[in-house]
């Protein structure tokens, strides 16, 4: 008998795409989400799958603390639940983000009792040392640059610290409790239904309206490693199949793209030539963050299929349809 798949934080941006893919693959899915930032499944899961999922509207910690849930059996568990947000949330409200430390501690202690067959822990590229991501030192980030047996650099605010800690717990869960755990470090995932507080949909919405000047936050010269959400989901499912010792793998394109270049691409898609205007008083995060794709290729057999321009076109078309029909 196939055991159900559990997705914590399953109503968020990444969770929605993962859940829809799992349902298409005929998995029985249990979704847990308090809808703080997520969207009720009734709004995005097709009617044809309504008998294949169960939605529990709850803080994940309440679910994990329930004694009855410590003996329930699950096949795969995708642990995505976290306090997340855009750059303003990370920089201006760090202690609310630090709740992720509590969520992950509860999760792994639950896993010791429940013993699911496989676990995927969603970490982040924010776990990497910020010292490697400056204008003076733009380093292609490799998985072994986070070394729990050596010297750890400082990650990106409380969000980075929480994800770094979650990775450490993943390794302990594998080593001391015989749990099969995989970690992923996604870089800048984006997609058509991402919250508009994130830069890719925000810039896209301005381009749809043909704003001139076309605004980007910070200097606009800060750069990221962008990956389309559906590529990210493929990599996640490969990771839970291939990795079991609590170690992590980068999920990205391996390429740096500035936010000015994102805006220029959107303008090209929209068919106009605006002035790109940086807002230097707005937060921009680290200067340059991109990751090596070697481990993803060698271990997972994964490489992204959707180019940045293709992905931005999908986002642009979605926003335009939502706004103007």
User: When comparing pLDDT for 87 and 15, which is higher?
Assistant: 15
Could you tell me which of 182, 167, 95, 96 has the C-alpha nearest to residue 126? 167
| Domain spans in the chain, listed from the N-terminal domain onward | 5-188+229-252+290-304
Confidence of residue 93 (pLDDT cuts 50, 70, 90): confident
Give the 3-state secondary structure of residue 33: strand
- Residue 258's contacts (CB-CB under 8 Å, 6 or more residues apart) are 220, 221, 222, 223
Contact 191, 13 (CB under 8 A): yes
The model scores a pTM over 0.85: yes
Residue 152 pLDDT: 87
CATH level 2 (architecture), domain 5-188+229-252+290-304: 3-Layer(aba) Sandwich (3.40)
Q: What is the DSSP letter of 3?
A: P
Segment 25-49, tens digit of pLDDT: 999 999 999 999 899 999 999 999 9
Confidence of residue 92 (pLDDT cuts 50, 70, 90): confident
Give the 3-state secondary structure of residue 230: helix
- Residue 105's contacts (CB-CB under 8 Å, 6 or more residues apart) are 169
Give the count of beta carbons closer than 10 Å to the beta carbon of residue 112. 13
- Residue 115's contacts (CB-CB under 8 Å, 6 or more residues apart) are 179
Residue 1 pLDDT: 67
DSSP string, 203-253: HHHHHHTT-SSEEEETTS--EE-EEEHHHHHHHHHHHHHH--EEEEEEES-
Contact 170, 325 (CB under 8 A): no
Segment 205-224, tens digit of pLDDT: 999 999 999 999 999 999 99
What is each CA distance from 148 to 94, 151, 163, in whole angstroms?
Answer: 23, 7, 13
Segment 187-200, tens digit of pLDDT: 999 999 999 989 99
What mean pLDDT is predicted for residues 133-154?
92
**Mean pLDDT for the chain overall:** 95
How many whole angstroms separate alpha carbon 154 and alpha carbon 158? Answer: 10
Residue 97 pLDDT: 83
Confidence of residue 7 (pLDDT cuts 50, 70, 90): very high
């Amino acid at each position: 008998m196939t055991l159900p798949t559990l997705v914590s934080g399953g109503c968020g941006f990444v969770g929605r795409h993962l859940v829809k893919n799992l349902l298409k693959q005929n998995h029985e899915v249990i979704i847990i989400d308090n809808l703080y930032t997520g969207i009720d499944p009734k709004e995005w899961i097709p009617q044809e799958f309504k008998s294949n999922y169960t939605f529990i509207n709850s803080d994940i910690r309440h679910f994990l603390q329930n004694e009855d849930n410590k003996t329930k059996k699950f096949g795969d568990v995708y642990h995505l639940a976290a306090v997340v947000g855009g750059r303003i949330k990370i920089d201006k409200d760090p202690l609310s983000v630090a709740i992720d430390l509590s969520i992950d501690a509860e999760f792994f202690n639950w896993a010791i009792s429940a013993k699911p067959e496989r676990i995927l822990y969603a970490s982040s590229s924010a776990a990497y040392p910020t010292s490697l991501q400056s204008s003076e030192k733009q380093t292609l980030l490799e998985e072994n640059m986070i070394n729990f047996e050596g010297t750890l650099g400082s990650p990106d605010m409380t969000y980075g610290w929480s994800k770094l800690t979650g990775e450490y717990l993943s390794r302990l869960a594998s080593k001391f409790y015989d749990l099969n755990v995989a970690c992923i470090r996604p870089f800048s995932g984006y997609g058509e239904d991402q919250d508009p507080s994130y830069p890719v949909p925000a810039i896209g919405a301005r381009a749809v309206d043909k704003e001139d000047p076309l605004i980007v936050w910070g200097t606009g010269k800060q750069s990221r490693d962008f990956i389309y959400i559906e590529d990210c989901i493929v990599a996640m499912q490969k990771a839970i199949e291939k990795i079991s010792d609590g170690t992590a793998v980068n999920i990205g394109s391996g390429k740096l793209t500035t936010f000015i270049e994102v805006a220029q691409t959107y303008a090209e898609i929209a068919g106009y030539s605006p002035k790109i205007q940086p807002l230097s008083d707005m937060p921009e995060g680290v200067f340059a963050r991109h990751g090596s794709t070697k481990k993803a290729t060698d271990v997972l057999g994964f490489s992204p299929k959707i180019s940045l321009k293709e992905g931005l076109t999908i986002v642009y078309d979605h926003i335009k349809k939502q706004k103007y029909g």
